[in-house]
Structure 1
Amino acid sequence: MDDPDCDLPTLLRTYAHFRIVNAVVAGWRLTYLTELRPRFTGTTHTLLDIGTGGGDVVRALARLARRDGIRLDITAIDPDPRAAAYVESLPATDGIRYRRASSADLVTEGAKFDFVISNHVLHHLSARELGAVLADSERLASVLAVHSDIRRTRLGYALYSVITGIFFHRSFVRDDGLISIRRSYLTPELDAVLPARWMARSQPLWRTLAVFEPAATTAAQPN
């Protein structure tokens, strides 16, 4: 998928398949319940999704929040023109705006959001890119930044290989997913590369979260 010359129809099918795969393995319902919802203080909040891909995660989060009587005003960004074209082809979802942009672009614009998230982005980044995205997240998030990623395990790799081999054909879901699992962090490994004010947390079903809470880090600083 990262190859700019990859087969476009296959890539578009992969974006469509993300809705199913992420619903099963990405754990965003749990992350919403444990990380986002407890920090809602009003009926409207802003959220930035970095590297939105097919946009399925933000659409799911918007639905979850709506059921709780909360409106999420979401900006979903991806620098890849193919991802931008895909999400722009989808029916509009109230409260979600898609942009072809990077987190650095929004920092330059002076943007600010209550929540900053990403899904399956961290393992794609070099050490320098990871540091830049986390620094951008600190500048962009007023309440919480939470980047959710795969946690590398042999069992998860084996199960993913078998299940996606059966159900997902003519897309990059299986091959790219297996590469992603091999590239992903164990929780201690992620914790070792995070800046001082970030925490790595394990989550069920082979997930790891990188979490930054501005209020918590401010409160922890000595007078």
Structure 2
Amino acid sequence: MTPSLRHRATELTELMDDPACDQRALERTYARFGVVNGLVSGWRRIYRERISPLAESAARDSGAPLTVLDVGFGGGDVPVALARWAERDGVDLRITAIDPDERAFAFASDRDAPSSVRFRRATSSELVDAGERFDVVLSNHVLHHLDSAALARVLADSERLARRLVVHNDIERGRLAYVGYHVGITPLSPGSFLRTDGLRSIRRSYTLVELADAVPVGWRVERQSPFRVLALFEPTSERSGS
């Protein structure tokens, strides 16, 4: 039976967020994120329409690579995919991927990744405090994990870290998303947290209207595709120079 999806189920906690969760199941979950995100997250389109053009512009204007920060990399599949698309296309990206979870850092550090990707165990606030800046700041499936205070902090950090663009990519809560994921994840879920955590993620996620109400002035929220929403911020020249 499909649970009510009228409101965000913020009381739910994902299994992988438990520090005492089964390590082998966690690693299987990380290892399969690439397949899941490849099917549902739409990063190929985001790369093609938003990131690659910025990189080409940077190359023309200054000859410099486009610097990208991935906040909350999890299994590390998104920065690796971006880097490989860029290599194939001759696009110069330099990607820093951060996550405060030592388990995620250990897993990602052991994976095969292009030399243009650097994994770090850190928070966005630590990078702000260090005065670091990047052309693009992005995340995948991070926003629905955050309470209101943490959401405000990550969005504020993103504004301070990004010179040109912020893209936070997340699920849009809905019945068809829930039912479709429940059925479609079956081949990948054994021995992992993919089914339980994925369904809880959908229940915790925002609708487009809810997320638009939650982001600060200056941000906009767009529907990327059915069941996907983007929180977007483009710094003005005044903000990016401050």
Note whether the superposition's TM-score is higher than 0.5: yes
Is 1:20 matched up with 2:35?
Answer: yes
Q: What residue number does 1:193 align with?
A: 214
Structure-2 residue corresponding to 1:174? 195
- Percent identity (aligned): 51
What is the one-letter code of the residue matched to 2:141? H
1:150 equivalent among 162, 171, 175: 171
Alpha-carbon shift at residue 37 of structure 1 (Å): 2.2
* AA partner of residue 38 (structure 2): A
1:65-123 deviation per Cα after TM superposition (whole angstroms, max 9, x unaligned): 22332121111000000000101111342111100000001001100000000000000
Mapped pair 1:33 → 2:48: yes
Structure 2 CA distance for partners of 1:157 and 1:217, relative to 1, 3 Å: farther
Structure 2 partner of 1:106:
127
Would you say 1:42 and 2:58 are equivalent positions? yes
CA distance in 2, matches of 1:84, 1:74: 15
Q: CA deviation at 1:35?
A: 2.1
TM-score of the two chains, using structure 1 as the length reference:
0.94
Give ranges in structure 1 of 5+ residues lacking alignment. Answer: 219-223
Whether contact under 8 Å (1:25, 1:205) holds in the other structure is no
Give 1:169's aligned amino acid.
P
- The match for 1:86 among 107, 115, 118 is 107
3-state SS in 1 of match to 2:96: strand
Q: Which residue of 1 aligns with 2:12?
A: none
Preserved contact between residue 203 and residue 209 of structure 1 (Cα < 8 Å): yes
Show CA shifts across 1:155-177 (max 9, x none). Answer: 11101001112432100011000
Offset at residue 216 of structure 1 (A): 7.8
Q: CA RMSD in A?
A: 1.5
Asked whether the equivalents of residues 187 and 202 of structure 1 are also in contact (C-alpha less than 8 Å), the reply is yes
- 1:56 corresponds, among 77, 86, 95, to 77
User: Any stretches of 5+ residues in structure 2 without a counterpart?
Assistant: 1-15, 60-64
- The 1:215/1:68 distance shift into structure 2, 3 A limit, reads farther
The answer to whether the Cα contact below 8 Å between 1:27 and 1:205 also exists between their aligned partners in 2 is no
TM-score scaled to structure 2, two decimals? 0.87
Taking the aligned partners of 1:30 and 1:188, their CA distance within structure 2 comes to 22
